[in-house]
């Protein structure tokens, strides 16, 4: 008899279940009649699953990067296609860079704009993330992507109030640090290596988005932060399609400040020290 996950997969795909395999505490691989395999993700926060489903559909609508198809969701379960794993390659990396540039160029209505049907109160990983639209990137980035996590880190005792001053200084100087103004890009939003899957079909697939309108350099800075196979080739493909503004490499630390502060709140002092180092690096660009 199917588990709750299997029953959800059968209901949302319309196909009988022939097998199930737990992958982690929250993920179950379900095989359907005919051999198709889907992933069922369990979550305690219905809003987070709704945001993930809306983000996957928004990214798919751009017709650029590959994302698993969403079959549906109920309150605590999300059903998507499974990506058959393959191996990273140079050719795939260059193609992914081109596709990522095209995704970003698909645009968004505003900085902080959520995907259609996506909630304002979303998540990035296990942390809350509010998608509040704004027209000025430096002001929006400071107010909605840096300062909320800085305050949470100080309130939680992970960073000391005196240490927070260097991050606050970055926020005050953001208009000078941000580089040339750019239109809102359609971001994956949590583009670390674990969410970049190299498929057996020779394509890169993206999972677990925290999708919103933002600055395209933020996605690229996330790829740099935790490392990604063939990053140089990804950037090569990206630059051929949509060249980055002068000085973009000097702004990587500025864009990493957001995910590093999120990790500070979730995982502690080690990331807090990295966030402070990124803030100091960003200030050198003044």
119 burial via Cβ count (<10 Å: 0-12, 13-18, 19+): middle
- Which one of 45, 61, 136, 190 is the catalytic residue? 190
Among this protein's residues, is 99 annotated catalytic?
no
Q: Specify which residues 128 forms β-bridges with.
A: 123
Long-range contacts of 154-161 (CB under 8 A, 24+ apart): 156/265, 158/264, 158/265, 158/268, 158/269, 158/272, 159/264, 159/272, 159/275, 159/276
Q: Where are the beta strands (DSSP E) in 54-138?
A: 70-73, 77-81, 121-124, 127-130
Residues 6+ apart with CB under 8 A from 34: 15
What DSSP assignment string belongs to 83-105? PPB----HHHHHHHHHHHHHHHH
Distance between CA 224 and CA 239 in Å, rounded?
Answer: 15
Cβ–Cβ < 8 Å for 44, 58: no
Q: Would you state the structure tokens that stand for residue 182, as one six-digit string?
A: 């750019």
User: Which residue's structure tokens are 């001053």?
Assistant: 165
State how beta strands 127-130 and 70-73 pair.
unpaired
Which residues form the catalytic set?
Answer: 190
């Amino acid at each position: 008899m199917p588990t709750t996950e299997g029953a959800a997969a059968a209901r949302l795909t319309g196909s009988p279940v022939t097998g199930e395999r737990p992958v982690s505490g929250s993920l179950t691989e379900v095989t359907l009649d005919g051999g198709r395999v889907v992933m069922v993700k369990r979550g305690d926060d219905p809003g987070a699953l709704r945001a993930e489903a809306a983000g996957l559909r928004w990214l798919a609508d751009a017709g650029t990067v590959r994302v698993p198809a969403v079959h549906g969701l109920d309150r605590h379960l999300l059903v998507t296609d499974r990506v058959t794993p393959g191996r990273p390659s140079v050719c795939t990396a260059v193609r992914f860079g081109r596709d990522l540039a095209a995704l970003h160029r698909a645009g968004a209505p505003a900085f902080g704009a959520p995907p259609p049907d996506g909630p304002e109160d979303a998540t990035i990983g296990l942390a809350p993330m509010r998608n509040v639209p704004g027209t000025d990137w430096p002001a929006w980035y400071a107010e909605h992507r840096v300062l909320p996590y800085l305050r949470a880190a100080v309130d939680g005792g992970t960073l000391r109030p005196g240490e927070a001053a260097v991050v606050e200084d970055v926020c005050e100087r953001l208009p000078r640090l941000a580089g040339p103004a750019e239109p809102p890009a359609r971001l994956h939003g949590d583009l670390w290596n674990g969410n970049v899957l190299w498929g057996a079909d020779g394509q890169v697939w993206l999972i677990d988005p925290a999708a919103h309108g933002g600055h395209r350099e933020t996605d690229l800075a996330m790829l740099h932060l935790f490392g990604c196979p063939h990053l140089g080739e990804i950037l090569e493909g990206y630059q051929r399609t949509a060249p980055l503004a002068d000085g973009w490499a000097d702004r990587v630390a500025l864009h990493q400040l957001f995910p590093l502060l999120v990790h500070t709140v979730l995982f502690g002092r080690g990331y807090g020290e990295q966030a402070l180092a990124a803030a100091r690096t960003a200030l050198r660009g003044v």
